Amino acid sequence: MNNADLEKEVKRLVHLNSYEKGLVCSVDILLQLDYLTKKDYENWRFGRIEYLEKACNINLSKLTLINKLIGKYSMDLNFESSWTGYNQFGKGIKRKLRFSKSGKKSIEDSYATHYVNKKRIDELKKNKASM
């Protein structure tokens, strides 16, 4: 997928996730773009893959672009950013998971930031309560 097509698809997925869940996060977008498989995501969450980027079947420049676009579109829509910690699933010690090989704070934060559409979350809660 070229960058122009990727940009359109990320924008569409930001809107879709915002509507369906009330929030947008990098991991969901990567799964929906098929750059990360559900199996590899679970292996990363259980600590069997050292860092998330290793499991993605796309190059680092595209991953960087995706994260920048998610942030851009989410901020354009006035979503609230919320850092979210990702800890290892399973039994035993729960260690903090890494997203990148370098572990650089700015990169880690771009993956760990969720963008929250508070208005939509309130709507979803009301809809759920009325059922």
What CA dihedral angle connects 51, 52, 55 and 59, to 10 degrees? Answer: -110
Q: Give the domain ranges of the chain.
A: 3-129
Q: Supply the pLDDT for residue 1.
A: 86
Q: pLDDT tens, 85-130?
A: 999 998 878 899 999 999 999 999 999 999 999 999 999 888 888 7
Q: What is the pLDDT of residues 20-76, one digit of tens each?
A: 999 999 999 999 999 999 999 999 999 999 999 999 999 999 999 999 999 999 999
Instruction: Give the residue among 13, 44, 15, 43 at the shortest CA–CA distance from 30.
Output: 13
How confident is the model at residue 33, as a pLDDT? 98
CA distances from 31 to 34, 61, 93, 125 (A): 5, 17, 26, 25
